[in-house]
Amino acid sequence: MNIILLGPPGAGKGTQAKFLEDTFKIIQLSTGDMLRAAVKSGSELGKQAKEIMEAGKLVPDDLVINLISERIDQPDAKNGYILDGFPRTVPQAEALDTMLSQKGQKLDHVIEMKVVDDVLVERICGRYSCAKCGAGYHDSFQKPKVAGVCDGCGGTEFKRRADDNAETVKTRLAQYHAQTAPILPYYQGKGILKSVDGMADIAVVTRQLEAVLRA
């Protein structure tokens, strides 16, 4: 099963992808995570992406298209994948269609996570993750069971993203409305677009997604 989770920054794409990975035995492919790994490694791609990401703008289409095309050829993607943060522009959506038909694959579901802009800023500015295993947390909405200790690995070091500040979030939201929201009608036209209420509690959103994917 191959799916796309679509939604604005902070909608909960990464949070929900982690649950769906376990339940459906498919893997999360987040272009944001891949680009952050490239920035950290100091690769050529990372050098090209760093400033653009810190400004909250979108990196050039061809870079992310190549990244995804190579990634879905890896053996661990055989069982299916959750695209998180890709496609993000109409040309990316079109390139995805071309690449999937060349690889003999198809999309099963495109799911929009609907959340109003006001709550996104609060969600993003309170977000942090475990420095060791990457597990995601939030100052108010998703705290570790023991304060300061990661539930998953017991790690005690945490980090925040360079683009998670109120100013950059505004640019990221503007980019979403201008560049990414136009792909919703693209998938609606193909009859594979569904939506869930991303404003609900995390566990409630998970149940909604599972219902869509099991239908």
| 152 sits near Zn ion (criterion: CB under 5 A) | yes
DSSP string of 18-63, one letter each residue: HHHHHHHT-EEEEHHHHHHHHHHHT-HHHHHHHHHHHTT-PPPHHH
42-61: contacts with ligand AP5 (CB under 6 A): 52-53, 56-59
60-99: contacts with Zn ion (CB under 5 A): none
Taking the least distance from each CB to Zn ion, the nearer of 137 and 186 is 137
Number of residues that bind Mg ion (CB under 5 A): 1
- With CA atoms as reference, report the closest residue to 7 among 192, 153, 193: 193
CB 126 within 8 A of CB 141: yes
Taking the least distance from each CB to ligand AP5, the nearer of 1 and 119 is 119
Q: What pairing do the DSSP bridges indicate for beta strands 27-30 and 127-130?
A: unpaired
- With CA atoms as reference, report the closest residue to 88 among 34, 9, 21: 9
Taking the least distance from each CB to ligand AP5, the nearer of 25 and 170 is 170
The torsion of the CA quartet 53, 65, 11, 208, rounded to 10 degrees, works out to -160
Q: How far apart, in whole angstroms, are the C-alpha atoms of residue 187 and residue 83?
A: 14
Q: Which stretch binds Zn ion (CB under 5 A): 80-88, 112-120, 155-163, 200-208?
A: 155-163
| 9 sits near Mg ion (criterion: CB under 5 A) | no
122-141: contacts with Zn ion (CB under 5 A): 130, 132-133, 135
| 14 sits near Mg ion (criterion: CB under 5 A) | yes
Token couple for 197: 């209420």
Taking the least distance from each CB to ligand AP5, the nearer of 24 and 191 is 24
- From residue 117, alpha-carbon distances to 18, 132, 134, 179, 193 in Å are 23, 31, 25, 16, 21
Q: Which partner from the list Mg ion, Zn ion, ligand AP5, none does 174 bind, CB cut-off 5 to 8 Å by kind?
A: none
CB 209 within 8 A of CB 112: no
Which residues contact Mg ion by CB under 5 A?
A: 14
Which residues contact ligand AP5 by CB under 6 A?
A: 7, 9-15, 31-32, 35, 52-53, 56-59, 64, 85-86, 88, 92, 123-124, 126-127, 136, 138, 141-142, 163, 172, 200-202, 205
Which residues contact Zn ion by CB under 5 A?
A: 130, 132-133, 135, 150, 152-153, 155
